[in-house]
């Protein structure tokens, strides 16, 4: 960067070393100025330049208290360099550590002149005020009962201090019952007072916030959510997720970690990540929205069983997962789907959705394609099925993953290449197979092997799908799609005794909530909401060249 880019430049002290500090429009940089006996000028510049992007500065504060305190406690040290520079200011900024973790780091600069110190604080604050994407007022909902019941503590100890440092004002509501946050957002909250809503809890709590906010916006705009083809109005308020639940899949899949401080910092810097939302209907009646997993069969049964053991906290999913695996149930039904266009890739293409994802950006700019497609609803009934594929079968699991669904249990997720904001969901059909085969499939969620590379698994990227469980009287006697060479190798007859595959129905797990209908119609609403996130960063950002 050239001299003319400099907003302010001073020689200051940092940790007993003399440094040249420069503020450029987008970067704060400092480098040590070493004393050199060889040079007549007495100084030389070391090559090592440290930089912080202005957009990753959390705050700047005058630190006169610290300097004064040092002087008061050690008056004899007046000749030490730092005491010749009694005025100081501290810049708090985002520091990346391992595995997508962000931390708030501080660097303090000392100077001799009070005016210079104040000038630095002022110009940095002026630069920060140009960052208009940063929230100033947030509405925070805390679920005190999510996960290990640490929501309030996590917020007070790890998040509130970061918000305070960044000068963010908050209104905090600790929920008193399930759906408290949803109802407050739907009917009471004055949304004009806020730049965003923060959810402290797990995926279920996020689901409450999502429903409260999306429903409120549709009501305010007179949109009827019961119409499956209604064009929903996107939410202008962003949602921040402070993970304090059991799975925290939505947080993990959008920032690469489920760490409260990292989430707080993504909120402070004003990140924005658009996200798809699936709307779920039953016979023209709106049921729910989903952003992560809609799972019938295995994940529906795991959730149903785990709800009975909520007191176990996150461990309830392990117990129920094990029991459900042993039960080895499968369910008959018909799945119909409308495949996505080719330009959004394929679930097995290994093009993972990352920060600034091209596929998600492309989709955003090609809204016209959707408008054309939505004209389908004008066509006669028989034409409305054009382009749809239909699959009948017995399934151990039917999963629709609108994002990767990565979480600590499965770091690559249910569909590793699913995209956050491409207007599609990955429909994964796991057909009836042996228990051993299903175990192999599950195991691949935890390692690098391809979980779709099995004869009994198929995966489609779709814009819409429907599911109809088989009516007991109409169910075919045998499923022609079953693999003849792979009989169940390890039947556990005692667990199967009461199981009748002609009448059995599972339930849908909708982002951790149970749906009360099994026949559903699902439609992806492209980029309906935005999070305070940026997607998973590819790698640590290289230092900015100055
Ligand atoms: N004050 C409250 N009392 C009881 N239940 C609540 C309260 N506030 C919210 N809930 C409900 O608690 C349920 C679970 O919350 P949450 O998602 O935070 O944790 P979790 O289920 O442990 O985590 P995950 O969803 O990530 O598996 C949600 O469905 C939410 O509606
Ligand atoms: C033999 C080892 C098998 C391990 C199998 C691990 C597979 C884990 C996949 C987890 C995907 C979770 C998707 C997210 C679902 C959430 O919406 C929901 C609510 O938090 N959580 C669950 C567990 O249903
Ligand atoms: Ca998607």
Ligand 2 atom 21: the closest Cα is on which residue? 512
Around ion ligand 3, residues with a beta carbon closer than 5 Å are: 276, 402, 419, 422
- Answer whether 409 contacts ligand 2 (Cβ < 6 A): yes
Ligand nearest, relative to CA of residue 320:
2
φ/ψ (deg, to 5) at 335: -110, 130
Pocket-testing residue among 141, 146, 203, ligand 1, by greatest number of atoms within 8 A of Cβ:
146
Could you tell me which residues come within 8 angstroms of residue 33 by beta carbon, excluding any fewer than 6 positions away? 11, 18, 19, 20, 43, 44, 45, 46
Taking a C-beta distance cutoff of 8 angstroms, is the pair 335, 427 a contact? yes
Least confident of 13-17, 34-38, 333-337: 34-38
Ligand nearest, relative to CA of residue 509:
2
pLDDT at 112: 87
Q: Residue 208 — pLDDT band, cuts 50, 70, 90? A: very high
Of 56 and 379, the one with more pLDDT: 56
Ligand 2 atom 24: the closest Cα is on which residue? 512
Pocket-testing residue among 173, 177, 199, 202, ligand 1, by greatest number of atoms within 8 A of Cβ:
202
Of 327 and 365, the one with more pLDDT: 327
**Mean pLDDT value across residues 171-196:** 97
Laid out side by side, the sheet with 17-23 consists of 43-53, 27-35, 17-23, 8-14, 102-111, 87-96, 57-62
ipTM: 0.95
CA distance 317 to 312: 9
φ/ψ (deg, to 5) at 292: -115, -90
Q: Looking at ligand 2, which atom is closest to the CA of residue 510?
A: 17
pLDDT at 486: 46
Spell out the domains of the chain, with CATH numbers in brackets.
8-129 (2.30.29.30), 137-375+384-476+499-531 (2.60.200.40)
Mean pLDDT of all residues belonging to the chain? 86
Task: List pLDDT tens digits, range 432-473.
Answer: 999 999 999 999 999 999 999 999 999 999 999 999 998 766
Residue 261 Cα to ligand 3 midpoint, Å, equals 26
Assess whether pLDDT exceeds 80 at residue 76.
Answer: no
Ligand 1 atom 11: the closest Cα is on which residue? 178
pLDDT at 313: 85
pLDDT at 442: 96
pLDDT at 203: 94
Residue 150 Cα to ligand 1 midpoint, Å, equals 12
CA distance 274 to 279: 16
What amino acid positions are annotated as catalytic residues?
203
Which of 82-86, 309-313, 384-388 holds the top average pLDDT? 309-313
- Answer whether 306 contacts ligand 2 (Cβ < 6 A): no
- Answer whether 410 contacts ligand 2 (Cβ < 6 A): yes
Q: Looking at ligand 2, which atom is closest to the CA of residue 439?
A: 1
Pocket-testing residue among 176, 178, 242, ligand 1, by greatest number of atoms within 8 A of Cβ:
178
Q: Residue 362 — pLDDT band, cuts 50, 70, 90? A: confident
Return the sign of the alpha-carbon dihedral for residues 290, 515, 521, 214: negative
Ligand nearest, relative to CA of residue 248:
1
Taking a C-beta distance cutoff of 8 angstroms, is the pair 200, 171 a contact? no
Assess whether pLDDT exceeds 70 at residue 118.
Answer: yes
Residues pairing with 410 in the sheet: 407
pLDDT at 86: 82
CA distance 213 to 215: 6
Taking a C-beta distance cutoff of 8 angstroms, is the pair 33, 11 a contact? yes
Q: Residue 503 — pLDDT band, cuts 50, 70, 90? A: low
- Answer whether 241 contacts ligand 2 (Cβ < 6 A): no
Task: List pLDDT tens digits, range 18-64.
Answer: 999 999 999 999 999 876 544 444 445 556 899 999 999 999 999 86
pLDDT at 472: 65
Q: Quick count: other Cβ atoms within 10 Å of Cβ 388?
A: 14
């Amino acid at each position: 960067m050239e001299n003319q880019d400099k907003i302010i430049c001073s020689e200051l002290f940092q940790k007993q070393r003399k440094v040249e500090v420069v503020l450029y429009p987008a970067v704060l940089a400092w480098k040590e100025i070493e004393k050199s006996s060889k040079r007549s000028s007495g100084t030389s510049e070391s090559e090592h330049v440290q930089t912080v992007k202005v957009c990753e500065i959390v705050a700047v504060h005058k630190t006169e208290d610290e300097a004064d305190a040092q002087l008061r406690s050690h008056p004899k040290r007046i000749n030490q360099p730092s005491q010749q520079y009694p005025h100081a200011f501290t810049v708090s900024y985002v520091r990346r550590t391992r595995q997508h973790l962000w931390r708030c780091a501080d660097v303090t600069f000392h100077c001799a002149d009070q005016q210079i110190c104040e000038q630095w604080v002022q110009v940095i604050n002026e630069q920060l005020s140009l960052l208009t994407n940063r929230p100033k007022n947030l509405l925070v909902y805390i679920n005190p009962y999510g996960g290990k019941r640490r929501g309030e503590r996590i917020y007070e100890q790890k998040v509130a201090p970061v918000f305070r440092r960044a000068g963010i004002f908050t209104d905090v509501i600790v929920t008193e019952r399930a759906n408290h946050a949803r109802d407050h957002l739907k009917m009471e909250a004055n949304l004009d007072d806020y730049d965003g809503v923060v959810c402290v809890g797990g995926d279920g709590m996020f689901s409450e916030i999502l429903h409260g906010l999306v429903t409120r916006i549709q009501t305010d705009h007179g949109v009827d959510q019961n119409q499956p083809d209604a064009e929903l109005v996107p939410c202008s308020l962003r949602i921040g997720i402070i993970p304090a639940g059991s799975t925290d899949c939505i947080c993990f899949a959008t920032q690469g970690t489920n760490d409260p401080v990292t989430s707080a910092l993504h909120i402070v810097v004003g990140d924005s990540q658009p996200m798809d939302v699936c709307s779920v209907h039953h016979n023209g009646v709106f049921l729910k929205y989903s952003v992560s997993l809609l799972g019938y069969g295995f994940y529906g049964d795991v959730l149903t069983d785990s709800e009975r053991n909520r007191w176990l906290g996150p461990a309830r999913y392990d117990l129920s997962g094990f029991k459900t695996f042993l039960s080895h149930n499968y369910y008959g039904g018909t799945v119909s789907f409308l495949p996505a266009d080719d330009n959004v890739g394929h679930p097995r293409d290994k093009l993972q959705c990352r920060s600034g994802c091209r596929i998600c950006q492309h989709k955003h700019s090609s809204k016209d394609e959707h408008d054309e497609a939505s004209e389908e609803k004008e066509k006669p009934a028989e034409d409305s099925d054009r382009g749809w594929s239909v699959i009948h079968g017995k399934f151990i699991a039917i999963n629709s993953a609108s994002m990767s669904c990565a979480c600590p249990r499965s770091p690559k997720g249910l569909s590793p290449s699913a995209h956050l904001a491409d207007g599609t969901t990955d429909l994964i059909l796991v057909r009836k197979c042996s228990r051993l085969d299903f175990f192999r499939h599950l195991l691949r969620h935890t390692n690098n092997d391809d979980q779709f590379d099995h004869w009994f698994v198929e995966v489609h990227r779709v814009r819409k799908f429907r599911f109809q469980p088989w009516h007991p009287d109409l169910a075919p006697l045998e499923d022609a799609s079953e693999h003849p060479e792979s009989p169940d190798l390890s039947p556990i007859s005692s667990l199967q005794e009461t199981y009748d595959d002609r009448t059995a129905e599972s339930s849908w797990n909708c982002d951790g909530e149970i749906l009360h209908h099994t026949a559903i119609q699902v439609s992806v609403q492209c980029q309906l909401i935005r999070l305070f996130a940026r997607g998973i960063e590819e790698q640590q950002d290289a230092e900015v060249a100055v």
